[in-house]
Structures are given as structure tokens and as C-alpha cells.
Amino acid sequence: MSEEIELIKERLDIGELVGEYVTLKQAGRHLKGLCPFHSEKTPSFVVSPDKGIYHCFGCGEGGDIFAFLQRKEGIEFPAALEQLAERTGVTLPKRRSGAKDPRARIFEMLELAAKLYHEILTNQSPGKRALKYLKERGVQAKTIDGFALGYAPQQWDTAIKFLLSKGYTESELERSGLVGRSERGKLYDRFRGRIMFPIHDVQGRVIAFGGRIAPWTETGNEGKYINSPETSVYVKRRVVYNLNRAKQVLRKSEPCVVVEGYMDVVMLAQAAHKNVVASSGTAFTTDQVALLSRYTSTLHFAFDADGAGVAAAESATHEAIAAGMRVATVVFPIGQDPADVAKDDPKALTNYLDQPVPLVNLLLDRLQATDIDDRDQLLERLLPLIKRVTNVVHQGEMIQQVATTLHVPESVIVSRLAAVPVTQVASAPTTGRGSFMPENEGYRILLGLLVLEPAVRQRLMKQVRLKDLPAGDAQALYKELGVVAKKHKDFPHASADKLLTYVADSFMPQAEAVRLVAQEYVARLDEHRQGASALKQEAERLWRGLQIVNLEQQLRALQEQLGSVTAKEQRKLIAQFQETMESLNEAQSELDTLSKALVRTK
């Protein structure tokens, strides 16, 4: 197998594969771009085609083509190997036993079933009425083909007979989720008299089905929609409908529109909105948030305008904002779902999608509509939601918005927020989307620039404060550099090699290590950012990033203290909180300005 792996690496340029996910630019022998695994404004993601590897100097992710595909698509090595082997035309050795993986057999059955249901819908008499129904709902023929929509007739054994004729066993049919067994031991088709929506994984393989009851078969005793049961290839809470198609659009920084139903996805996609997904037969889950966070940092929930739809949006947003994602809601008129609007007025649909409402606005409107006019009660309902926001800047924006709408001082909200029990704030998945870069990487580069670059040394010594750096080796080395600066008049202009001779022997290993980190960092910068003036801007940007990390930590610490102090002490802490929040906003604004300035110099 090792020979096949090496052959795949020879045939597939890593730059070509990564370039399908990341916009890469030539930087000497390497390619550079924004890291697809964490949020950043300045590229720190490097691809080395000659070595066949990639590495992000911001978050530490790295590896070869197999590691990249595994990480980006959330798949295991065997799946990545199969995909890339097929792409490069490399034949993998068969299993010694000659037997297929049981999961592979299930994938085959589900794919065959999808083709069967689609054929019945589009070309067979049992599907004529279903086809007419879909067209009346506004679904076009190309959309039916694109989503492989199908129809399962009312017979009890359509899928059973078909799959048994293909050589699959009864037990395999049951494991696929397509077939059930009665108490008397008789097999039966789970899907009967239903419009069929194949559900795919991110790789595009059929893993399950959603079935909508055909109106003419409805008796009132069955669910409008049913889904496949969970199987070895389908775990509902980890699947997002249509993500296999939408992921390419989401990678281009499009917000992800999340709707409730399969038909909503189909109709919005038909109306040229390709960034639409839906949960798969379940309420929106933390696993689905984690999956979507690989492709986007912004979710717009476009649920039905009725009470149930708004409640579903509220529940879903709790999961998303706790993961650090930006969240808004798309509000449709009462009585109309997204699919209706897409059919009747595509232009209005675009207007609704282009004007999402901040979550807090929707919740305030909803709560006020329930006659909760007491500001204290309204605030009580909103506090657990605000508490779940892990991004401190986003949380500050939400606090300001609620304070303005309810005419409540921000200090009151901050104080009440501290009293919200941790038990009311459920845990959420980590998305890996930091505000700047890993703290240790940032301070090492800064200290390294102090050693390496005379052009920025004096300025950094004036800007960086001891408390900006983590306690321990970082602060100790910074103190030592301060001692060197006082002892040696040529400190501001000395070369890195000479400066290292001034450093005490006990600090040499740390000083040499951070210099090497800085050398790597500067080498990765584009040529236009390696001059003295550009390096000063770069150092300033790094320092601002560290400031932001530290200020966010201070805000969290203040929030924790607020819940365990006296009223008098609370007032003092609240004032500190507001002051720190202002400093954070100022630092973020400065960082944005610096980043834009660097982009303009390109």
C-alpha cells in the first residue's frame, strides 16, 4: 500500500488540491493563503509543493495531501485514500479476503435506492402524480435531477424486491435503514407513498433518506416527514442536509443560510441561493455547528415565521453563538415559509435573505409580542443567551444592543450577567476560530523581532509592557533584554548576532529560539512587507493582536469576579469592565486599520 500512497503523492500536486479550498498566491518557492482551519486576516498558511506538505504558522496545522483532505472534509484516512486514488487513477490493492467493507455495501445499496426512487418519479407510472405535485410546488425538472428527488410507491416491498435482486441479503437491507422487520418477522419498506430526498455526507455519498408524505396517501396517522433510522453510515446529529453542495460556496466567505426543511433547501437553491442547508431530521445540534464551522463563521437562520419556527431559531442560535459564530435571522411574513416565497416571489426572497435581523431584535420582538412588557422579565430571558456568547467583542455588541432597546444601563446588564449560573450555559464545540493567533506564537514572534530586527527594536521596547507577555520565560527574557538595553548604547542598532553576545548565558537558548521563530515569520512575509517601514507596521499589528488577547482575558476574569463580590465592589468592577471593553474596541479598530494598510501596500 505504501507504493500506492507515494504514487498518489507524485501524481497530485498539493498546491492543486489545497487551491480548491484556499486562494493561494506565489511567495518564492512556496504558496501562501489564509488558513482554512482558523480565522485570520494575514496569511500564515504555507504550502510547499516541492515537499508535498502544508503548514499553518498561526494554528500549527500541517501535513500532506491526505492529512489536508482528512482535516478539511472530516473523514478518516481510508476514505481520503480512496478519494485521492480515484482522482489520480491509482488502483488500490483489494482486501485479501475479497469481501467488501460492510459500510461500502450499505453505501452501494443507498445509491441504488436513490436511483430507483428517482427513476420511478421521473419515468414510471407510479411516480406521475408525485411528479405533477412537485411541478405544482414550483420544482423544475433540472432541480429534480440535481437533487436526485424520487418517489417511493405505496407498495410494501418495492425496495426489498429491487435490492434482493441485486444480490444483497435481508440483514444487509435492514442495516441500510431502508427496510424494517415486523413483530411477525416480515420485511417491509420503511418509505411508502413518499416524496424522497436523498441525504448525502460531505463527500457526496448517499447515507440516508428523508421522505415527505404524498398528500393523496395521507391518512393523518403518519408523520409528514420521516427520516431513515440511524445506521453505521448515518448519525442524524452529525449530518447537515445539502452541505455537500453548499460547501464550495461557503468557502468563498458566503454566510450559511440554515432552513428547516428539505423543500426549503431545494426551492432556495433553485432560486440561485446555493449557500443553503438544513438540519437532518433533528433540532440543530452542537455537532452540526461544529461541522458548519469548518466552512463558515456566519449563520443566518431562515425558519418559518410562526411560533414554532421562531422557537426553533432561538434554540439553534444558542448552539451557534456559543461556538463563537456570528448569528442573524431571516424573517419571513407570518404564514409563509421560505419555499413559498422562493416560488411566488424570488425577488422578495433575495431581499429577505439580504436583510437578516440581529438575533436580539427578533427575540425582543417575540418576547414583547407575548405581553412580557416588564423590562426585568425581558432581560431575564435574554441573559442566558448573552452569557453563552464566547466571543467577547460579539458579547459586548449584544450587551450594547439590549441596553439600547430596553433602556437599561449597560452596567446593570453586566452585573446581572455575572449572576447567571454556569449551569444555564451549556457547553459548545470549539471551532478553532481565534481572534488573532495562538498567544504563544504571537509573543514569540514579537520577542524574536526584538532580537532580530534593529528597525523595530526601539519602538517595540517602548510599546510592549511586561504585563503584555505571559508570566515565566517570556517575561524573564523581556526583562533581560531591558537590562541589555540599559548596559549597551548600541542596543537599538546592534545586529542580532551581536545582540546575542550581550545576553546572559542563562537566557541564550530562549533568545536564540525566538530569533529563529522571527526569522521564519519574516521569511514568510511578501517582499513588499520586508522593508523597514513595513516591518514596523507588522510589529505594530502583532502587538495589537497580543493586546486584544490580553484584554479578552481581562474581561472574562472581571465577569467571573462580578458574581462573588459586594454591591460596592461590583460598581467598581463594572466600571473596569466598561473601560476594558472600550480599550478592546479601540485595539480591534487599530488592528483592522493596520491590516487594511498592509493590504493596500500590495
Q: Which residue has the higher pLDDT, 179 or 313?
A: 179
| Percentage of the residues of the chain whose pLDDT score is greater than 70 | 84
Distances (CA, A) of 360 to 90, 123, 288, 379, 403: 53, 49, 22, 11, 11
Q: How confident is the model at residue 517 (pLDDT cuts 50, 70, 90)?
A: low
Q: How confident is the model at residue 527 (pLDDT cuts 50, 70, 90)?
A: very low
- Is residue 121 pLDDT above 80, yes or no? yes
Q: Count of domains in the chain? A: 5
- Does residue 172 share a domain with residue 51? no
**Boundary-marking domain end, from 88, 118, 147:** 88
- Is residue 500 pLDDT above 50, yes or no? yes
The C-alpha cell at 287 is 455537532
CA 228 to CA 249: how far, in whole Å? 27
What global pTM score does this model have?
A: 0.59
Average pLDDT over residues 432-450: 58
Q: How confident is the model at residue 307 (pLDDT cuts 50, 70, 90)?
A: low
Q: Determine the structural domain holding residue 331 and report its residue range.
A: 238-364
For residue 95, being part of any structural domain is answered with no
CA 480 to CA 478: how far, in whole Å? 5
The amino acid at residue 266 is: V
The C-alpha cell at 458 is 526601539
Strands 62-63 and 256-259: unpaired
Segment 27-82, tens digit of pLDDT: 777 888 888 888 777 788 888 888 888 988 777 788 899 999 988 877 778 888 88
pLDDT of residue 219: 82
Q: How confident is the model at residue 309 (pLDDT cuts 50, 70, 90)?
A: low
- Does residue 327 share a domain with residue 210? no
pLDDT of residue 532: 64
- Does residue 226 share a domain with residue 130? yes
Please name the residues in contact with 115: beta carbons below 8 A apart, sequence gap of 6 or more: 148
Average pLDDT over residues 440-446: 71
- Is residue 444 pLDDT above 80, yes or no? no
For residue 311, being part of any structural domain is answered with yes
- Does residue 156 share a domain with residue 23? no
SS3 state at 258 = strand
Q: How confident is the model at residue 441 (pLDDT cuts 50, 70, 90)?
A: low
For residue 573, being part of any structural domain is answered with yes
| 501 exposure class (CB count in 10 Å sphere: 0-12, 13-18, 19+) | exposed
> Strand order of the sheet with strand 53-56?
25-27, 30-33, 45-48, 53-56, 62-63
- Please provide the DSSP assignment of 154-181 as one string: S-SSHHHHHHHHTT--HHHHHHHTSEEE
- Is residue 16 pLDDT above 80, yes or no? yes
The amino acid at residue 540 is: E
Q: How confident is the model at residue 498 (pLDDT cuts 50, 70, 90)?
A: confident
308-313 contacts at long range (C-beta below 8 A, 24 or more positions apart): 309/260, 309/337, 310/362, 310/366, 312/260, 312/283, 312/284, 313/362
For residue 429, being part of any structural domain is answered with no
For residue 554, being part of any structural domain is answered with yes
For residue 349, the domain's CATH number is 3.40.1360.10
Mean pLDDT is lowest, of 104-108, 169-173, 383-387, 508-512, for 508-512
For residue 134, the domain's CATH number is 3.90.980.10
HEC profile of 329-398 = ECCCCCCCCHHHHHHHCHHHHHHHHHCCEEHHHHHHHHHHHCCCCCHHHHHHHHHHHHHCCCCHHHHHHH
CA 268 to CA 27: how far, in whole Å? 40
Work out the mean pLDDT of the chain and round it to a whole number.
Answer: 81
Distances (CA, A) of 69 to 82, 89, 112, 171: 11, 17, 27, 33
End-to-end CA distance of the chain: 45
Segment 528-555, tens digit of pLDDT: 444 567 677 778 777 877 777 777 777 7
pLDDT of residue 514: 74
pLDDT of residue 163: 97
Q: Compute, in degrees rounded to 10, the torsion defined by CA atoms 287, 288, 289, 295.
A: 120
- Is residue 438 pLDDT above 50, yes or no? no
H/E element holding 63? strand 62-63
Q: How confident is the model at residue 398 (pLDDT cuts 50, 70, 90)?
A: confident
Mean pLDDT is lowest, of 72-81, 447-456, 549-558, 562-571, for 562-571
Average pLDDT over residues 187-194: 96
Cβ–Cβ under 8 Å, residues 286 and 428: yes
Mean pLDDT is lowest, of 180-189, 348-357, 571-580, for 571-580
Strands 150-152 and 194-200: antiparallel
pLDDT of residue 181: 92
CA 387 to CA 417: how far, in whole Å? 7
Angle at 589 between CA 588 and CA 592, to 5 degrees: 85
- Does residue 466 share a domain with residue 574? yes
Distances (CA, A) of 571 to 385, 412, 420, 562, 566: 23, 9, 17, 9, 9
- Does residue 349 share a domain with residue 330? yes
- Does residue 329 share a domain with residue 192? no
- Is residue 299 pLDDT above 70, yes or no? yes
SS3 state at 259 = strand
Mean pLDDT is lowest, of 49-53, 264-268, 469-473, 478-482, for 469-473
Residue identified by cell 410546488 is: 137
pLDDT of residue 436: 34
Q: How confident is the model at residue 174 (pLDDT cuts 50, 70, 90)?
A: very high
Q: How confident is the model at residue 416 (pLDDT cuts 50, 70, 90)?
A: confident
pLDDT of residue 284: 80
**Boundary-marking domain end, from 66, 88, 110:** 88
Segment 235-278, tens digit of pLDDT: 888 899 999 999 888 877 679 999 988 999 999 999 999 999 99
- Does residue 445 share a domain with residue 468? yes
pLDDT of residue 265: 96
**Boundary-marking domain end, from 211, 234, 257:** 234
- Does residue 27 share a domain with residue 73? yes
Q: How confident is the model at residue 523 (pLDDT cuts 50, 70, 90)?
A: low
- Does residue 289 share a domain with residue 170? no
Mean pLDDT is lowest, of 144-158, 331-345, 455-469, for 455-469
For residue 428, being part of any structural domain is answered with no
For residue 425, being part of any structural domain is answered with no
Nearest of 262, 258, 257, 267 to residue 227 by alpha carbon? 262
β-pair partners for 210: 197, 227
- Does residue 277 share a domain with residue 225? no
- Does residue 485 share a domain with residue 467? yes
Cβ–Cβ under 8 Å, residues 524 and 44: yes
Residue identified by cell 439590549 is: 402
Residue identified by cell 463527500 is: 203
Q: How confident is the model at residue 305 (pLDDT cuts 50, 70, 90)?
A: low
pLDDT of residue 431: 33
For residue 426, being part of any structural domain is answered with no
pLDDT of residue 350: 93
Segment 357-393, tens digit of pLDDT: 877 776 677 655 455 556 777 787 788 778 777 667 7
